[in-house]
Structure 1
Amino acid sequence: MQCLEPRLSLGKRQERISLGSRQVFSVFLLLAILIVLLYPTTATGTVVLTASYAQAPPIETPLGPIIIKGVTNLYVSFSEIRIHLANERNDSGWVPIVYNTASVDIIRFSKNHGLIFSTPTVPVGEYDKVILRFGNSSAVVNGTKLNVESVPRFIIVDYRFSVKSGSETTLKLKFTADYRAINISKPKVFFEISPIPD
């Protein structure tokens, strides 16, 4: 009897060990399935948006060109920036990546690209458009700071790019500002935004 008891308890131990290894295998299998299912929605990369600045060329009129001078600073912010998934229809697939950016003087970017924002939590994927919705804008004209209306209020830019897991993607945009309506009672600045090819 005494000899049988250790064998019996050894058998129970082996049964427990093999049952434990099955459970461990099941947990690993479940984790692998979850990773495969959830990876596309949880994998993220960083998107950095940079800008360059140019003033629109003089406006030609029958009396000669209208040249706007005296604008030394142009501060812009964005209430929202979204990017569009390439495999979705135009009315869907928009992914918001930032809200309410800090105000930036884009005239500083006339010689070198400057940072508009950077965000590290953009879902991995292929994208084909960027939409920028202007927030508050102001300009310093001949030493006086004016609140200005950005026209249009939002701009959609065709821009194909990829976001890869753990990597950084830099988007380069050129902002062209037209000041033809800067001196009216409700000042406006007209914008064109275009991608800068690498």
Structure 2
Amino acid sequence: MIKKLVLMRHGQTLFNLRGKFQGVVDSPLTPLGIQQAKTVKPFLDDLPFQFDHAYSSSSERACDTLEIVTNLPYIRLKGLKEWNFGILEGEPEYLHPPFDQYDEYFSTHDGEGRMEVFNRINSTLCSIMEKEDHCNVIAASHGLAMREFVTYWTKDNPSLVPSRFANCIIFIFDYDTETKTFTLIDVHNPFA
């Protein structure tokens, strides 16, 4: 059976605006972040299927975004949270190393390693999609955690992965319950 997963990033936050690391720490949506979510809502409403279940990271920024784009009740899951940056949480983003060094950099600063992030978000999303009554799911998450998930499931065609995961980027996946695999169908990145 083929099911649909719509995975979206939260809207712009105060820490995004101020250039601060925000992994497991939280900051509120800005007025622009709220407007971004309102702007993508018609795209989601026009999809050729209706959502039957909704999930969000337990972070406020993801929950608030999801509440703008759907009226469905939703479940908050820590497995959908952003990469944990350890002692670098809340620090200026100029401390970011090149992306290929994130694994060692954050894990040596009491944060998560790349495989920890991938395993966490992947097992969470697989568990959601394996639920019998879940056919069309929307989930709100975060840029770097989503990047790990999307990159893994598009490894045979990396050109499908946008270089920038802007706020409110939307990925549409098919999930095959027989092979337990995700296939990227579409990307909507209106604020890139």
TM norm structure 1: 0.29
Larger radius of gyration: 1
Ranked by relative contact order (alpha carbons within 8 Å, sequence separation 6 or more), the top structure is 2
TM norm structure 2: 0.29
Relative to its length, the structure with more strand (as a share) is 1
